[in-house]
């Protein structure tokens, strides 16, 4: 008769051990605990909260998400964005192999979402950090580099402080943001934001396959179109595309272009053709021997005189001062610049007025 009570007591102990208990800790979920719709985890500093929510306009679809505790209507991360839970049947657990598993607790129950880590840890615990990062870790190992899984490796549409974008060389994951499809549907939308490294790293926003924004390339210290301290150097080979003018104070950048000598020679030849030359006797006659009545301007390099050639063509003649260091090359550059300027006091002559030194 003493055997039967012992057997019944043993059965009760087995049943009690196997029934999961509700999550009681403020920011963690452990094995053998359940986290159900209506419960929330709050990070230690009261910054972030994890729980189930329904987007505006969706009454029956439930999603597991994280939001700022002060702004519960704006989720910053969604676990099951592609697979909503029907009504309020969602249950989150830490499975026997150490993964986070979201179940639709109907009969029969089915897996809606999982952290799907290949590492098996028997005593893992999920914790919501005060950075908004939901991490799965070995309860006996507090090293952040040893996390089994973390939500920061799977961002949705919000970039939080401490997150990273781009390729994670350790995990092999490409981290990028993806918009919601609509305000009531958190599944993946058309817009993505990430770091592309096909040539040089830069932040790119795309709508489908169409590029709608780029930050400018990374120059070793910062993205070239983002204001910041310091300086960097970058070399580019090939065609220059998408060049922008920067007008912000302190945003000046120098560009040095290296060209083949053959191209430089051809450019010089073109400029030679644009600048006809005249001998001293011709310009002396045209300016009435550099008469003061013909002087129309004076600068640091010399005086400029108006004149007229024997064929009637009007010219401007620059006579260098004795102290001037301007030579033929500098004079040509000055004339080329003047000819390209657009100003109310400068106008092109229909008869191609010559400039002579």
- Residues at the annotated binding site for ATP? 318
DSSP string, 67-107: EETT-TTSEEEESSTTSPEETT-EEEEE-TTS-EEEEE-SS
Stated as kind and residue range, the H or E segment containing 34 is strand 33-36
Tokens 């990273």 sit at which residue? 164
Tokens 């499809």 sit at which residue? 181
Q: Residue 28 in 3-state DSSP?
A: strand
Long-range contacts of 304-313 (CB under 8 A, 24+ apart): 307/283, 309/278, 309/282, 309/354, 310/285, 310/286, 313/351, 313/353, 313/354
Rounded CA-CA distance 116/94 in Å is: 11
Strand stretches in 262-337, DSSP E: 295-298, 302-308, 314-320
Q: What angle do CA 142, 31, 54 make, to 5 degrees?
A: 100
How far is residue 344 from each of residues 135, 138, 337, 341, 348, measured CA to CA in Å? 67, 75, 15, 10, 11
Rounded CA-CA distance 133/257 in Å is: 46
Stated as kind and residue range, the H or E segment containing 16 is helix 3-18
Annotated binding site: 318
In DSSP terms, 30 is beta-bridged to 125
Question: Which of 192, 229, 191, 235 lies closest to 217 in space, CA to CA?
Answer: 235
């Amino acid at each position: 008769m003493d055997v039967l009570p012992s057997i019944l007591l043993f059965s009760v102990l087995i049943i009690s051990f196997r029934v999961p208990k509700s999550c009681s800790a403020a920011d963690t979920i452990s094995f053998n605990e359940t986290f159900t719709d209506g419960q929330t985890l709050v990070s230690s500093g009261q910054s972030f909260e994890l729980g189930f929510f329904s987007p505006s306009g969706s009454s029956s679809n439930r999603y597991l998400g994280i939001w700022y505790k002060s702004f519960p209507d704006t989720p910053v991360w969604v676990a099951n964005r592609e697979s909503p839970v029907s009504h309020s049947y969602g249950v989150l657990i830490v499975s026997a192999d150490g993964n986070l598993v979201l179940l639709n607790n109907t009969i029969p129950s089915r897996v809606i979402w999982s952290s799907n880590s290949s590492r098996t840890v028997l005593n893992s615990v999920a914790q919501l950090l005060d950075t908004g990062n939901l991490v799965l870790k070995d309860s006996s190992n507090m090293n952040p580099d040893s996390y089994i899984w973390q939500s920061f490796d799977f961002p949705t549409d919000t970039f939080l402080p401490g997150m990273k974008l781009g390729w994670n060389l350790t995990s092999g994951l490409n981290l990028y943001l993806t918009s919601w499809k609509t305000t009531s549907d958190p599944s993946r939308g058309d817009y993505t934001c990430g770091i592309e490294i096909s040539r040089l790293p830069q932040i790119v926003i795309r709508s489908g396959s169409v590029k709608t924004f780029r930050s400018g390339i990374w120059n070793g210290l910062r993205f070239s179109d983002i204001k910041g301290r310091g300086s960097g150097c970058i070399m580019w080979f090939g065609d220059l595309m998408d060049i922008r003018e920067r007008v912000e104070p302190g945003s000046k950048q120098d560009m040095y272009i290296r060209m083949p000598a053959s191209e430089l020679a051809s450019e010089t030849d073109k400029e030679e053709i644009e600048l006809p030359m005249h001998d001293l006797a011709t310009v002396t006659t045209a300016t009435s021997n550099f008469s003061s009545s013909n002087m129309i301007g004076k600068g640091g390099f010399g005086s400029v005189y108006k004149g007229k050639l024997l064929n009637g063509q009007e010219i401007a003649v620059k006579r260098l001062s004795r102290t001037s260091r301007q030579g033929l090359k500098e004079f040509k550059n000055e004339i080329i610049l003047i000819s390209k300027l657009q100003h109310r006091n400068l106008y092109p002559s229909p008869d191609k007025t010559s400039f002579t030194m």
